[in-house]
Structure 1
Amino acid sequence: MLQSMRDNLKGTAAIIVAALFGFIMVIGGINFFSGASGGAADKVAEVNGEKITNLDLQRAIQNRRNMIMNQFGDQAPADLLTDEKLREPVLQQLVTSSVMRQAAQDSGMVMSPAAVDREIVQIPGFQVDGKFDPQLYRDGLRRLGYSAAGFRQTMERDLVLQQYADSVTDSAFTTRAAADKVVAMSMEERDFDYALLPVNGLLDEVSVSDSEVQDYYDKHQDDFQRPEQVAIEYIDLKPSLFAKNIDISEEDVRAQFEQEKSSFQAKTRRHAAHILIEGDDQKKIAEVQSKLAAGEDFAQLAKTYSDDLGSRDEGGDLGFTAGDVFPEAFEKALAGLKVGEVSGPVTTDAGTHFIKLLEVEDSKAPTFEERKAEIKEQLQNAEAEREFVGALSRLADLAYNADSLSGPAEELGVPVQTTGLFSREGGAGIAANDKVVAAAFSPEVMLDGNTSDVLNLSSDEAVVLRVTQHKDSGTYPLEEVREKIVTRLKRDKASAQLAVKAQALQKQLEDGGDFAELAKEQGLTLETSDNTRRGGFGERGEIIEHAFAMASPASGGSTFGTFATDEGNQVVLKLRAVRPGDLSRQSSEQRAALLQQLATMDGRAELAAVQKYLTDEAKIEFSSSK
Structure 2
Amino acid sequence: MISFFRNFFQSKIGLPIFIAFLLLVALAFAASDITGSTFGGISGGERAALVGDDAISTSELASTANSALNQVRQQDPTLTMPVFVDQGGFDEVLKQLIDRYAVGGFAEKYGLRAGENLVNSEILQIPAFLNLTGEFDNETYQAALQREGLTDAILRRDLSDGLLAQQLLVPALASPILPKKAAKQYAALVRERRRGQIGLIPSELFMPEGDPTQEQLSAFYSDNRTRFIRPERRVLRYASFGADSIGETAAPSDAEIAARYEANKAQFEASERRAVSSFVVPTQEAANAIVERIRGGVSLETAAREAGFNVSSGELRNREEMASATSFAAAEKIFEAPRGGMAEPAQSTLGWYVARVDNVETIPARSLEQARGEIAEQLRTEKSAAALADMSANIEEEVDSGTSLTEVAEAYDLELQTTPPILADGRIFGQPGPGVSPALRPLLDSAFQMDESEPALDQLIPGVQFIVYEVQEITESAAPPIADIRDEVARAWRFAEGSKEARAAADRILEQVRSDTPLGEAMSAESNRLPPVDRIDLARAELLSQQGQNIPPPLILMFSMAEGSTKLFEGARDAGWFVVDLDEIVTTLPEDDDPLLAQTQQQFAQALGSEYTTQLQTAIRAEIGVERNETAIDAVKRQLTGEN
**TM-score band, normalised by shorter chain:** 0.3 to 0.5
Which is greater in Rg? 2
Q: State the TM-score, normalized to the length of structure 1.
A: 0.47
TM-score (norm 2): 0.46
